[in-house]
Amino acid sequence: MNEKTNRLGLAAKPLIRDGHILHSIIDGSFIPTFVIDREHRVLYWNRALEEISKIAASSVIGTKEHWRAFYSEARPCMADLLVDGAMQEIPRWYAGKHRESTLIGEAFEATDFFPELGESGRWLRFTASTIRNEQGAIVGAVETLEDITDQKLSEEALRESQQRLFQILEGSPIAAFVIDRDHQVIFWNRALEELSRIRANDVVGTDQHWRAFYGSKRPCMADLIIDEKPIDVKKWYAGKGHPSKLLKEAFEATDFFADLGEGGRWLRFTAAAIRNSQGALVGAVETLEDITEQTSAEQALKESEQRLHSILQGSTIPAFVIGKDHRVLFWNKALEELSRIPAKKILGTKQHWRAFYSEERPCMADLLVEGNIREISRWYHGKYSKSKLLKEAFEATDFFPSLADGKWIRFTAAVIRDAGGQVIGALETLEDITERKRGEIALQQAHDELEQRVEERTIDLLQFSESLKTEIVERKEAEKKLRKRERELKMKSNNLQEVNTAMKVLLDQREQDRREVEETVMNNVKELLAPYLERLKKTKLTEVQLAHVRVLETNLDNIVSPFLKTLHSRYLNLTPKEIRVASLIKEGRTTKEIAELLGMSVAAVDFHRNNIRKKLGLRNKKANLVSHLATM
């Protein structure tokens, strides 16, 4: 069986991407079906067709001999004519037996007798339709067959208590019909007339009740009850029907009926036997309830869940979903890579904490599912905040030593509610911000160190300033005394010269200290800040964030470059804002870029440019401002 399945899957690959699913659908169908490709070679030959044709799939798949199941000599089947696009040839081979399908485009239906099938031949109702690829080209055809040989034509009439039953059913808002032992319709109520658009006068007394539900003749559930073949109920309603829990000799089922209404209808129907007073089976009643809106809502919910699953699974953001019972419902590939825990080991369990902690404890999603908002502060004290974007969502940033070599993670958890507003689970997404966090820490450390050095140097300068003030006071005292005592001034002039010399030495020492501080700052910037800025630039930043990082890098370069010193020393009348604009002009930035980086309007940047030209003596001159600044 595995070898057969593999062969079928490989053969179907040109037609459908997931051959396994197509094979399972076709092979598991009770409707005899085969599929051919553009070259008329058989791709699929299901078990139902094996049984009816007595030809094994292994002997026909890959060949062009599917005709052997139906004819004594080679001739085209209807599927062959559709593959060749020879619609005009169909009347030649199926004269008076065919018609275009009213349900499927590019499809034809026919009824014919096949003497080669079975021991004495079979009547088949068959439908063939084309298969097209994504470009719309014909790549094959599928043909399904229905055995209508053994349909029974008559049964005994249903008479007893019929009038009372009909009165009840006629006034019921639930669609219903009754057939007798001969499968003839003896009752068709008003609710069913509205549902089926078939009048009771057109169907009562016939066995055509199937027309309300199916495109071709086949037994309804009531027919199977009349025939007393419960096994056939499973055949015709596989996976859709089951014995009623309320009624004896009754079956219930739910199915989609494409021929009902404009877009088809979902019906929940129940068929039950009708017996006379002697217990003899005299008929069957079938009731039908339209559940289209309910089923459509359920289907829309499933599709929505599937779309959400596809979006999350393909997302680069690690995420997981838990249900109301805290069991993991979803664990995407990004989270598999981050946590190194495959989804198959975590789905259906309550072990999601293992990805983040060394011992069991609640994640933020668990707290939201339980509605324990107060507990969030206990487990994430000083690390969380309420989301500004999502209702009933919280964000937090924390370090997780259990992740790889330790990771800084920013994570957000939000509740999931059903249509009734009840909490049914929670979603948690995670963002790895390790590199950014390390850069921030390093930048803060460098900033703190620089602040400390500046503070120490400031103290030194203040002490020196105090000593200078003391010396000035002493000088003034000396001058007063010297005015009175000119002779003493002359005598002490030599001493005063020595004091001046000492002052010069101190000032020289101060200049040397200043140069050492500048050199230290420059080295610290290059060794402590520049590497982290480079690493930060390689992370996933937005364009605006990257631009600000580049400005930060440029400004740090300017701090250690002589350009700003030149501007300060030569043109002390430039404002701080004009110096910043001049620095960006020197880098070759446009007016629009400078406006975005400094958070000002383009007009404001132009105003500063004009002031800079004026203060640099370039007004009413053809000199280029960028070139002039580059020479400074």
557-599 pLDDT per residue, tens = 766 665 555 555 555 477 878 888 888 888 888 888 888 888 8
Q: Which fold has domain 316-431?
A: Beta-Lactamase (3.30.450)
Range of 18-32, 114-128, 475-489 with top mean pLDDT: 114-128
Cα 16 to Cα 139: distance, rounded to the nearest angstrom: 10
- Going from the C-alpha of 100 to that of each of 107, 111, 264, the distances in angstroms are 6, 12, 19
Buried b (16+ CB within 10 A) or exposed e, 605-617: beebbebbbebbe
Binned at pLDDT 50, 70 and 90, residue 83 comes out as very high
Tell me which fold the domain 561-632 belongs to: Arc Repressor Mutant, subunit A (1.10.10)
Instruction: Quickly state the pLDDT bin for 508 (edges 50, 70, 90).
Output: confident
pLDDT higher than threshold 70 for residue 162: no
Is 70 exceeded by the pLDDT of residue 352?
yes
Residue pair 291/268 in contact (Cβ under 8 Å)? The answer is: yes
* Distance between CA atoms of residues 192 and 144, nearest Å: 29
Q: Give the other-Cβ count within 10 Å of 164's Cβ.
A: 9
291: three-class secondary structure by DSSP: coil
- Helix 486-524 and helix 434-484, axial crossing angle in degrees, nearest 10: 170
Please give the pLDDT value at position 322: 92
Exposed, middle or buried by CB within 10 Å (0-12, 13-18, 19+), for 570? exposed
Helix (H, G, I), strand (E, B) or coil at 45: strand
* pLDDT score of 159: 43
Mean pLDDT of all residues belonging to the chain: 82
* Model confidence pLDDT, tens digit, residues 363-407: 999 999 998 888 888 899 888 899 888 888 899 998 988 777 788
SS3 of 138-199: the string is EEEEEEEEEECCCCCCCCCCCCCCHHHHHHHHHCCCCEEEEEECCCCEEEECHHHHHHHCCC
Q: Which range is least confidently modeled, 327-331, 428-432, 616-620?
A: 616-620
Residue 502's pLDDT band (boundaries 50, 70, 90)? confident
Superfamily of segment(s) 162-290:
PAS domain (3.30.450.20)
Domain ranges for the chain: 2-147, 162-290, 316-431, 433-532, 561-632
Q: How many CB atoms lie within 10 A of CB 394?
A: 22
Beta bridge partners of 392: none
pLDDT at residue 166 in the model? 62
Give the relative orientation of helices 576-586 and 562-570 as an angle to the nearest 10 degrees. 130
Predicted local confidence at residue 149, as pLDDT: 81
pLDDT at 3: 42
Taking alpha carbons only, the member of 247, 220, 248 closest to residue 232 is: 220
pLDDT (0 to 100) of residue 355: 85
CB of 186 within 8 A of CB of 180? yes
Provide the CATH topology of domain 2-147: Beta-Lactamase (3.30.450)
Tokens read off for 107: 């499809």
* Rounded Cα distance, 106 and 208, in Å: 26
pLDDT of residue 6: 42
pLDDT recorded at residue 504: 82
pLDDT for position 46: 92
pLDDT on residue 148: 82
Determine the Cα–Cα distance for residues 208 and 200; give it in Å rounded to an integer: 11
Pairing relationship of beta strands 107-114 and 122-132 according to DSSP bridges:
antiparallel
List the structure tokens of 608. Answer: 């500063």
Q: Do domains 316-431 and 561-632 have the same CATH topology?
A: no
Q: What is the pLDDT of residues 173-226, one digit of tens each?
A: 888 899 999 999 988 988 888 888 889 899 999 999 988 888 889 899 899 988
What are the tokens at 511? 């200049």
Residue 491 has pLDDT above 70, yes or no: no
Structure tokens at 364: 């933020």
Query: 495 pLDDT exceeds 70?
Result: yes
Closest CA to 142 of 256, 45, 8, 24: 45
Q: In the structure encoding, which two tokens stand for residue 330, read together?
A: 């979803």
Strand 138-147 with 175-180, pairing = unpaired
Is residue 555 within 8 A of residue 583, CB to CB? The reply is: yes
Q: What's the pLDDT at 596? A: 85
What percentage of the chain's residues is helix, strand, coil (to nearest 5)?
50, 20, 30
The model's confidence at residue 161, banded by pLDDT at 50, 70 and 90, is low
Two tokens, residue 164: 């009372």
The two three-digit tokens of residue 246, written as one number: 């309320």
> Largest Cα–Cα distance of the chain, in whole Å?
157
Whether the pLDDT of residue 542 is over 70: the answer is: yes
Residue 321's H or E segment, with its range, is strand 319-323
pTM, full prediction: 0.33
Whether the per-residue pLDDT at 326 is higher than 90: the answer is yes
How many Å apart are CA 274 and CA 159, to the nearest integer? 10
Q: Is the pLDDT of residue 467 over 80?
A: yes
- Using a pLDDT cut of 90, give the percent of the chain over it: 21
pLDDT value for 156: 33
Amino acid at 623: A
How many Å apart are CA 469 and CA 472, to the nearest integer? Answer: 5
- Which structure tokens are listed for 560? 């250690």
